[in-house]
Each structure stands twice: as structure tokens, then as C-alpha cells.
């Protein structure tokens, strides 16, 4: 939504011959293009999904955001409306093991993202404790993935907190952590910054797989996880 400022100068003539100039500022809201958020991410929880989105800088003004979610791709039946101060929400009461498709749109001046909605994100709610068993070539069945629980500091779930006891502080010259970014279609490295939308997540994505690479031999203690 493009916004223009129009300055009108009015000259008022008084009988005594004195001229008074009055500057009147009028802000006109032009009917421009409304763009959807340029980035969204979804984190999995038990019977819930946490959705985050980022303001699109091409929008000078946004009144509301609308989050659409459904078990059918492209279905816009179910939605929640938020004012422009919100950039995240939790969708609760969902069914575990059922894929949900999520998009976000922006609304300004009564116009909803006339260029469409954000990229569609698919995520499946799941309980925190999950074991996935896979078969490797040759037919040997192994427990290929092991869930790592949240550390004992619930408010400090950074990657370096979860794995730091075994690997040390997050240092991409010593060890690196990646996850698959569905939206961008590629691997994304974890971040040590506080930017939710930095080069990668600062925190492990709940319910998602992580790939670790280390310069030196390391052992990760999974006791109690």
C-alpha cells in the first residue's frame, strides 16, 4: 500500500489587506499494491503449530494479518485475523500426525494481499517424544533418529544450550548444525544470533530433523533424552 503526502498552501486575504498563509497537510492513502509477508516459518508442537511471519518492507502500511490453515493444500476456509502489531501466533487444538497447510496474507485499507498470499508451508503437529525407525540398505533395521529433549532451562533452548555440553559453544569452524528449509528448498545453518529470521534458527526446530557436522570426533550423550 503506497502512501503519499500532499501539501496544500492556502492563502487567506483579510479585508485589512493582510495576507495569511496556512499550510495544510493532507495524507492521501493511494490504492497501491498490498504484499503478503515475505517470510514465514512454522514450528511443530504437540497438537499445535507456532507460526511466525515477517513484515514485507514493500508495504508502508498494514492494518491486519490473516493466517489461513487447513488440512487441504490451497484451502482458505479456516483463518485467524490479527492486527499489525502481531508477527506470530500459536494454532492449537490440531490433530497430531495430520499435515496442515499454512499461508499468511496482509490487509491494508480494506485490501487483502492483491498479489496473493505468502508461500505455503506444510507442517505436521507431533508430540515431543517421538522415535522414528528406518531401514538402512541391506535390510538392517535401526533406530535412525533420536529425539533430543528440551534442556533443563526451558527459557534457554538455544542450539548451543542443547548440544553445548558435548560440542561446546556454537562455532561453525568447529561444528555446524543444519535443518531442511522447506520454504527455500535447501539446507539452512543454525544461527548464534538473536535474529529469528537470520541465516538459520537459533533454536532447534521442535519436531524437525537436524544434521550435525564436526571437525573433530565427538560423542553426544543421549542419556535421559
Instruction: Give the DSSP per-residue string, 85-105.
Output: T--EEEE-SPPTT--EEEEEE
Domain ranges of the chain: 39-123, 132-214
Which of 9-18, 79-88, 141-150 is the most confident on average? 79-88
CA 44 to chain centre: 12
User: What is the pLDDT confidence band of residue 101, given thresholds at 50, 70 and 90?
Assistant: very high
**Banded model confidence at residue 68, pLDDT cuts 50, 70, 90:** very high
What is the mean predicted confidence (pLDDT) over 183-189? 71
pTM for the whole structure:
0.49
How far apart are alpha carbons 147 and 162 in whole angstroms? 12
For 165, the enclosing helix (H) or strand (E) is: helix 159-167
Q: What is the pLDDT of residue 29?
A: 39
Task: For residue range 120-159, list pLDDT tens digits in order.
Answer: 999 999 886 655 555 555 555 544 455 555 444 555 556 6
Query: 39-123 is classed in which CATH architecture?
Result: Sandwich (2.60)
Amino acid at each position: 500500500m503506497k502512501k503519499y503526502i500532499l501539501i496544500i498552501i492556502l492563502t487567506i486575504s483579510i479585508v485589512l489587506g493582510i495576507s495569511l498563509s496556512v499550510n495544510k497537510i493532507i495524507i492521501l492513502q493511494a490504492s497501491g499494491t498490498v504484499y503478503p509477508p515475505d517470510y514465514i516459518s512454522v514450528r511443530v508442537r504437540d497438537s499445535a503449530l507456532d507460526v511466525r511471519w515477517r513484515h514485507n518492507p514493500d508495504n508502508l502500511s498494514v492494518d491486519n494479518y490473516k493466517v489461513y490453515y487447513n488440512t487441504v493444500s490451497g484451502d482458505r476456509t479456516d483463518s485467524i485475523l490479527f492486527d499489525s502489531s502481531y508477527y506470530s501466533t500459536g494454532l492449537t487444538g490440531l490433530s497430531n500426525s495430520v499435515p496442515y497447510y499454512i499461508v499468511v496474507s496482509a490487509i491494508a485499507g480494506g485490501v487483502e494481499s492483491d498479489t496473493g498470499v505468502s508461500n505455503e508451508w506444510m507442517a505436521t503437529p507431533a508430540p515431543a517424544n517421538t522415535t522414528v525407525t528406518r531401514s538402512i540398505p541391506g535390510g538392517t533395521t535401526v533406530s535412525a533418529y533420536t529425539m533430543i529433549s528440551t534442556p533443563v532451562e526451558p527459557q534457554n533452548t538455544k542450539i548451543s544450550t542443547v548440544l553445548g555440553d558435548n560440542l561446546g559453544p556454537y562455532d561453525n569452524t568447529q561444528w555446524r548444525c543444519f535443518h531442511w528449509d522447506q520454504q527455500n528448498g535447501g539446507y539452512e545453518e543454525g544461527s548464534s544470533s538473536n535474529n529469528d529470521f537470520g541465516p538459520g534458527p537459533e533454536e532447534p526446530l521442535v519436531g524437525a530433523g537436524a544434521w550435525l557436522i564436526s571437525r573433530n570426533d565427538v560423542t553426544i550423550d543421549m542419556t535421559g533424552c
